[in-house]
């Protein structure tokens, strides 16, 4: 009997150790900050951690990507920048250019759909190598990533039911309106700045559904997306867009950029690639294919 | 109405939802296969005669049951990578593994408490009877307690199993493309269709069908075990 008791105790101890190891994210965390002696400065700590592992692999992010042979592009389904064709493969202005960029690096491109709110974590955890998905260069993005030169212009527009469009013309304030916005998007900032009470939803498409279902008075989404998704011939034929919120706020248009990890030398590689692609006309050509040529920045 | 079910829109959406539901089912079965035995090990830990082991187990169970599963998924997937340990391989398979580990640990903790209730619900007199007959502890557990415990835990386990089918939808927080993710994808645009709302709500058909089958099977199991009293 004693023997069995010992056997069970050992088995249990082993199981507990294993299960603790499996959920030991927090432990590893505290150990590490303990080592570096700066437990309070978590972001600092992380940076040194990255640099160390970067040096272990190779000297640069570019070498890291070329070493594993794939460029993992973090994106969401966002026509006309990234979306699936009828065969299920990724196309769109951003998707096509990302493939060309990967080719120029001599690696294969891999598209990974991500949850947009977690793009910085995805990048820092190296589960993706860049964020390339019609990303507005706002303060949050600039603080957390290194970005390539802006390549496209965009604005936030107010989407309303077509039959009520006249009520919204030349509005300079959204006070008293209930506006659906994508959580964490540039549209959310714009709507709040103009005094709307906002309902944050997970995706821009959800915001359109809110307006369509009448649960919100209006939605704020990207001009590029509004052009592709609403109006005649789409599934949101009853919606239209009116106010340009950037003009209403007296702001410049927004710019789209590609995000890389902080300190990554892929930024320089990207800028070089993009300048060459503008020069040989492939940017304009691809942009024309997807109807975004008006918004491109061709220096 | 009939022509809609024959339309390419319906066929395209259906095949995407099927792909997603296969992911849902994989996660469901992997979780069950992992959590059912791990739960038993944890329940032994929380009933152990060794106090430190008992406290440790109970603390782990408290932490896992006391925090949202969605938070555990996010932490398990991102924190190792953020700290420089790239333990999850890239792409879909890494995401699936991370999510499966989170689900197994989470559900094992819930199962362990159900098992504990089942084991401790067997009258002590029966164990004493076993001892009088000269049976070892091990024999008592496997020959007397275990089967009676199984009978007692079927109804609460059925509850957890049906909850598990629906909880798999939390996996989309780290972009695991299960059936709800697929349903939502047609709102934004997928394979040439954008602004479709019905695929999201249509996923309910899958969950209802699956939990219907699960309910029938678990009901049969319960009937089969009815000869115990």
Domain at B2-227, CATH from 1.20.1250.20, 3.40.50.880, 1.10.1040.10, 1.10.3720.10? 1.10.3720.10
Task: Please check whether residue A139 lies inside any domain of the structure.
Answer: yes
Residues A166 and A145 in one domain: no
Q: Which one of B66, B86, B90 makes the best mutation probe of the A interface by having the most chain A beta carbons within 10 Å?
A: B90
Task: Please check whether residue A56 lies inside any domain of the structure.
Answer: yes
Q: What is the pLDDT of residue A4?
A: 60
Task: Please check whether residue A17 lies inside any domain of the structure.
Answer: no
Contact criterion met (CB < 8 Å) for A121 and B82: yes
Closest CA to B155 of B118, B129, B102: B118
In degrees rounded to 5, what are phi and psi of residue B110? -65, -45
| Closest chain A C-alpha to B137 CA, distance in angstroms | 7
Confidence of residue A16 (pLDDT cuts 50, 70, 90): low
Q: Which one of A22, A23, A290 makes the best mutation probe of the B interface by having the most chain B beta carbons within 10 Å?
A: A23
Least confident of B52-66, B111-125, B173-187: B173-187
Last residue of a domain, one of A230, A248, A266: A248
Cβ atoms within 10 Å of A263's Cβ, excluding its own: 13
> Is residue A37 within a helix (H) or strand (E), and if so which, with residue range?
none
Residue B116 has pLDDT above 50, yes or no: yes
Residues A286 and A170 in one domain: no
Least confident of A78-92, A268-282, B30-44, B145-159: A78-92
pTM recorded for the entire structure: 0.73
Q: Domain range spanning residue A76?
A: 47-152+255-295
Cα dihedral sign, A171-A172-A177-A180: positive
Cβ atoms within 10 Å of A237's Cβ, excluding its own: 12
Residues A81 and A108 in one domain: yes
In degrees rounded to 5, what are phi and psi of residue A198? -105, 150
Residues A61 and A92 in one domain: yes
In degrees rounded to 5, what are phi and psi of residue A128? -135, 165
Residues A133 and A162 in one domain: no
Task: Please check whether residue A35 lies inside any domain of the structure.
Answer: no
Residues A136 and A161 in one domain: no
Residues B118-151: pLDDT tens digits? 999 999 999 899 999 999 989 998 998 998 899 9
Question: A54 to chain B: nearest residue by CA?
Answer: B84
Residues A25-57: pLDDT tens digits? 333 333 333 333 333 434 444 444 444 444 444
Task: Please check whether residue A200 lies inside any domain of the structure.
Answer: yes
Residues A167 and A289 in one domain: no
Cβ atoms within 10 Å of A210's Cβ, excluding its own: 20
Residues 40-69 of A with CB under 8 A from B: 46, 49-50, 52-53
The answer, for B127 touching chain A at a CB cutoff of 8 Å, is: no
The CATH number covering residue A230 comes to 3.40.190.10
Q: What are the sequence ranges of the domains in chain B?
A: 2-227
- Report the number of distinct structural domains present in chain A: 2
Question: B38 to chain A: nearest residue by CA?
Answer: A15
Strands A108-113 and A70-75: parallel
Least confident of A11-20, A289-298, B45-54: A11-20
3-class DSSP state for residue A73?
Answer: strand
Rounded to whole angstroms, the Cα distance separating A69 from A59 reads 16
Residues 84-113 of A with CB under 8 A from B: 84-86, 88, 110, 112-113
Note the ipTM here.
Answer: 0.74
Taking a C-beta distance cutoff of 8 angstroms, is the pair B95, B77 a contact? yes
Confidence of residue A234 (pLDDT cuts 50, 70, 90): confident
Residues A232 and A279 in one domain: no
Residues A94 and A212 in one domain: no
Residues A216 and A89 in one domain: no
Residues A58 and A148 in one domain: yes
Residues 169-198 of A with CB under 8 A from B: none
Higher pLDDT, residue A154 or A250? A154
Contact criterion met (CB < 8 Å) for B80 and A25: yes
Taking a C-beta distance cutoff of 8 angstroms, is the pair B104, B30 a contact? yes
Residues A160 and A191 in one domain: yes
């Amino acid at each position: 009997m004693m023997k069995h008791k010992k056997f069970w105790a050992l088995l249990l101890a082993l199981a507990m150790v294993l299960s603790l190891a499996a959920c030991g994210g927090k432990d590893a965390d505290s150990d590490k900050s303990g080592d570096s002696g700066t437990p309070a400065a978590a972001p600092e700590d992380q940076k040194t951690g990255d640099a160390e592992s970067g040096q272990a692999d190779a000297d640069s992010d570019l070498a890291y990507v070329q070493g594993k042979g794939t460029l993992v592009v973090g994106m969401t389904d966002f026509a006309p920048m990234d979306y699936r064709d009828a065969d299920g493969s990724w196309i769109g202005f951003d998707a096509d250019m990302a493939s060309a960029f990967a080719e120029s690096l001599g690696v294969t491109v891999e598209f990974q759909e991500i949850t947009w709110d977690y793009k910085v974590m995805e990048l820092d955890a190296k589960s993706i190598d860049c964020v390339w998905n019609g990303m507005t260069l706002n303060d949050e993005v600039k603080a957390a990533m290194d970005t390539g030169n802006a390549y496209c212009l965009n604005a936030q527009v107010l989407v309303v039911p077509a039959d009520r469009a006249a009520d919204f013309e030349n509005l300079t304030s959204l006070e008293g309106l209930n506006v659906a916005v994508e959580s964490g998007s540039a549209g959310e900032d714009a709507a709040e700045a103009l005094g709307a009470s906002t309902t944050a939803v997970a995706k821009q498409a959800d915001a359109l559904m809110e307006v369509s279902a009448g649960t919100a008075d209006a939605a704020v989404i990207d001009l590029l997306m509004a052009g592709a998704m609403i109006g005649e011939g789409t599934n949101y034929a009853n919606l239209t867009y009116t106010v340009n919120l950037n003009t209403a706020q007296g702001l410049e248009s927004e710019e789209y950029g590609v995000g890389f990890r902080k300190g990554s030398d892929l930024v320089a590689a990207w800028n070089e690639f993009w300048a060459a692609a503008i020069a040989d006309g492939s940017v304009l050509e691809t942009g024309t294919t997807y109807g975004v040529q008006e918004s491109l920045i061709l220096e | 109405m009939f022509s809609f079910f024959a339309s390419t829109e319906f066929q395209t959406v259906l095949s995407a939802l099927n792909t997603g539901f296969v992911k849902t089912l994989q996660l469901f079965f992997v979780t069950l296969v992992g959590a059912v035995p791990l739960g038993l090990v944890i329940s032994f830990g929380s009933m152990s005669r060794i106090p430190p082991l008992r406290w440790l187990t109970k603390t782990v169970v408290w932490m896992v049951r006391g925090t949202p599963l969605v938070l555990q998924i996010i932490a398990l997937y991102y924190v190792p990578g953020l700290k420089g340990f790239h333990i999850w391989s890239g792409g879909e398979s890494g995401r699936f593994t991370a999510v499966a580990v989170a689900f197994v640990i989470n559900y094992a903790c819930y199962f362990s408490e159900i098992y504990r209730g089942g084991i401790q619900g067997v009258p002590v007199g029966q164990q004493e009877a076993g001892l009088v007959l000269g049976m070892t502890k091990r024999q008592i557990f496997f020959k007397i307690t275990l089967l009676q415990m199984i009978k007692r835990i079927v109804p609460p386990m059925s509850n957890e199993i049906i909850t598990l089918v629906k909880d798999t939808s939390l996996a989309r927080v780290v972009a695991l493309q299960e059936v709800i993710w697929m349903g939502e994808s047609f709102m934004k645009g997928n394979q040439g269709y954008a602004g479709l709302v019905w695929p999201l709500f249509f996923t309910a058909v899958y969950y209802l069908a699956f939990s219907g089958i699960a309910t029938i099977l678990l009901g049969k199991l319960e009937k089969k075990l009815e000869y115990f009293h």
